[in-house]
Amino acid sequence: MDIYHHLSSDFTAILITLKLAVVTCFFLALIGTPLAYFLAFKSKKTKPLIETIVTLPLVLPPTVIGFYLIIIFSPKTALGKIFIILTGEQLIFSFYGLVLASIIYSLPFWVQPLQASFEKIGRDTIRTSYSLGASPLDTFFNVIIPLCKRGFFTSLIISFAHTLGEFGIVLMVGGGIHGKTKVIAISIYDHVEQLSFGKAHFLAGGMLILSFIILLTLFYFNKRTVVRVK
Amino acid sequence: MSNLSVLLNGKIGNLFLNFKHHFKNDGITILYGPNGSGKTTIISALGGFIDNIETKIIFNGKELHDTGKYPPNKRPFGTMFQNPILFEHLTVEENLDFVIKRNQIKTQNKITITKEYLINYLELNSFLKRSPANLSGGEKLRVVLARTILKQPDYLLLDEPMSDLDIKYKAKLLVFLKDINKKFKIPMLYITHSIEEISQIGDQIVLIKDGKKIDSGRVADIINKSSFGDLTGKFELSSILEGMVVSYDQNLHITNLNLNGQNLVVPGLPGDLNEIVRFRIRSRDILISSSRLDTKITENELQGFISMIEIENNSPFSELVILLKNFKNNGIKQKLRARITTYNLKNMKLSLNDSVFIYVSSVSIDRQAYQSK
């Protein structure tokens, strides 16, 4: 009975983790894609600044980001207040707080491969498409997306895998509340703290196999892609 | 008659562009100038890809510089960029269909150029289903040309389209462009560095240097002017002459041309009987003599008057402009530019208005440069 209870609690964590990764990737596609496009083609003077901001989560300790996000998400700030008005609950320690944190944390993993892919097809391709009578939107959907399939695929896989494995920020911003913000990485930590190595093995092994399969898929289909981590 | 007026003014990188020209003809206009003089920038600006300088482009009454109304995808031009790109996620045929799908409405009051016509003319049939990634340079170029023309543009902008091509295929494609220009009445702006290409397909020419227009006019008029010589270097100076095909010798493969009563033998068959053809003679290939030579050193002997002598400073060379005698008295004046050593000039004691004999070997007449008029 006890084992069954723990297993179901682990399954809840697995579900929350997967849901977090899916929702995060959805928003990354919406936010990160235009950002990558902007960095690849539009920005001139602002490019170094924006690139720096996007890349910061790669170099900062997760606790630093977590710390500032706790402050920004607190019910005392404008963002915190608006969230309470809209949903009736606090942003901090909520699932949506986790999503927001994950978007920021995984942003470089979405933007960088895609930006590189956009830069590879280059301005000339876009100009050619325009000169043939295709509008910018038409060009984006019928020229850029098909030509950058690999870039999108890489961004999706890497961002998804990265979101699955978050620990520091998720713990600080989400608090590891069972059934709400407790993800696999935190469950493993709890199991290890309680010396329940068997359960830790179950989750950790699962993560290892899943990550292995995801990356293998990526490199198998995407032989030419180099995953850049600055 | 198509009417394109262009004004560009401003700084792009290191180039200060101050270009103004009124393109007013239905033929092929060459844009010629040294690297970095702004030729490609002009084509980019016409396409709507340059927005940080003062631009005024009026085409057949439409103010194209109004980028809100005429963004790049709504301009009536067909542009072939310097490094042409085929979409690699599509097959060759899908690349052609891409442009057809997006340009179906506006082709009402014009003769439509069909996909089949271009596929046959440019011999694309054998690789229609292939991916552009597996094409050779020449094949790729032909597909890009077909795709650009299938837009049914009101004006074609071609930025050094033949630069990567071997000579044999180049001649074919130049004839193709001339054909498209004549049959479908599409005027063209053509950037090239090759004097062969200029003399073969150019009707008008605009010379540009450091972002400014130096000179413009008919190719035949400009090509032997010193403004052109300044850009090419005098070594490449040449003249374009016109003559009528009077007979063709099938055994020897030579053609007799009539230049207002003077005969000139050229290699090959440049055109049909009674057709007027243009050809190019390099200034350095001409021999001048003040008296008639009694031995036949070349096939050709022409007669003319010296109308200009230009002795170059600090150089062994002199330039002569010779007005060819017109034995038909039909008023047509043809000028020939010759480049000889000043030593030779002094030896023969030549001076202005002297009558001279001109000797030019048929071998040095450029077969690539024939153009029927």
* Residue ranges of domains in chain A: 2-221
B276 and B202 both lie in a single domain: no
- Assigned token pair, A182: 């407790």
- Reference B307, options B361, B351, B261; nearest CA is B351
Q: What is the pLDDT of residue A229?
A: 44
Average pLDDT of the residues in A156-178: 90
**Among B210, B232, B254, where does a domain finish?**
B232
CA distance A46 to chain B (A): 17
B258 and B228 both lie in a single domain: no
| A141 has a chain B CB within 8 A of its CB | no
The number of helices, as runs of H, and strands, as runs of E, in chain A is 11, 0
B226 and B273 both lie in a single domain: no
Answer yes or no: is pLDDT of B172 > 80.
yes
| A130 has a chain B CB within 8 A of its CB | yes
The terminus-to-terminus CA distance of chain A in angstroms comes to 48
Q: How many CA atoms, within 13 angstroms, populate the side-chain half-sphere of residue B240?
A: 26
Average pLDDT of the residues in B141-145: 94
Q: For residue B85, give the nearest of A125, A135, A149 by CB distance.
A: A125
- B93-139 pLDDT tens trace: 999 999 999 988 665 566 789 999 999 999 999 999 999 998 988 89
Q: For residue B73, give the nearest of A135, A142, A147 by CB distance.
A: A135
- Assigned token pair, A90: 């606090």
B248 and B329 both lie in a single domain: yes
- Assigned token pair, B303: 């007669």
Answer yes or no: is pLDDT of A210 > 50.
yes
Fold of A2-221: MetI-like fold (1.10.3720)
Look at B81 and A147 and tell me if their CB atoms are within 8 Å.
Answer: no
B36 and B139 both lie in a single domain: yes
Judge residue B62's burial from the number of C-beta atoms within 10 Å of its C-beta, 0-12 exposed, 13-18 middle, 19 or more buried: middle
Answer yes or no: is pLDDT of A4 > 70.
no
Interface confidence (ipTM) of the complex: 0.79
- Assigned token pair, A61: 């300790």
B57 and B141 both lie in a single domain: yes
Coil/strand/helix, residue B8:
strand
B163 and B298 both lie in a single domain: no
B226 and B123 both lie in a single domain: yes
**Among B185, B211, B232, where does a domain finish?**
B232
**Residues of chain B with C-beta less than 8 angstroms from the C-beta of A139:** 73
How many independent structural domains does chain B possess?
2
Neighbours of A204 (CB within 10 A): 17
| A42 has a chain B CB within 8 A of its CB | no
- Where do runs of H (alpha helix) occur along chain A? 2-37, 47-59, 62-73, 78-87, 95-131, 136-139, 145-147, 149-164, 168-174, 184-193, 197-221
B279 and B227 both lie in a single domain: no
Q: How many CA atoms, within 13 angstroms, populate the side-chain half-sphere of residue B154?
A: 17
Token look-up 């202005």 returns B352
- Reference B265, options B369, B373, B336, B365; nearest CA is B365
- CATH number, domain of B89, equals 3.40.50.300
Are B56 and B45 in contact by the 8 Å Cβ rule? The answer is: no
Are A106 and A26 in contact by the 8 Å Cβ rule? The answer is: no
Give the domain extent around B154: 4-232
- A99-132 pLDDT tens trace: 999 999 999 999 999 999 999 999 999 999 999 9
B210 and B290 both lie in a single domain: no
B194 and B306 both lie in a single domain: no
Look at A138 and B48 and tell me if their CB atoms are within 8 Å.
Answer: no
The terminus-to-terminus CA distance of chain B in angstroms comes to 18
Look at A132 and B147 and tell me if their CB atoms are within 8 Å.
Answer: yes
Are B31 and B188 in contact by the 8 Å Cβ rule? The answer is: no
The number of helices, as runs of H, and strands, as runs of E, in chain B is 9, 20
Residues 275-314 of B with CB under 8 A from A: none
The rounded distance, in Å, linking the Cα atoms of B95 and B133 is 12
B321 and B189 both lie in a single domain: no
| B83 has a chain A CB within 8 A of its CB | yes
- A168-204 pLDDT tens trace: 899 999 888 888 888 999 999 999 999 989 999 999 9
The better pLDDT of the pair B224, A17 is held by: A17
DSSP state of A38: I
Q: What is the pLDDT of residue A1?
A: 43
Coil/strand/helix, residue A60:
coil
Q: What is the pLDDT of residue A177?
A: 87
Q: How many CA atoms, within 13 angstroms, populate the side-chain half-sphere of residue B97?
A: 8
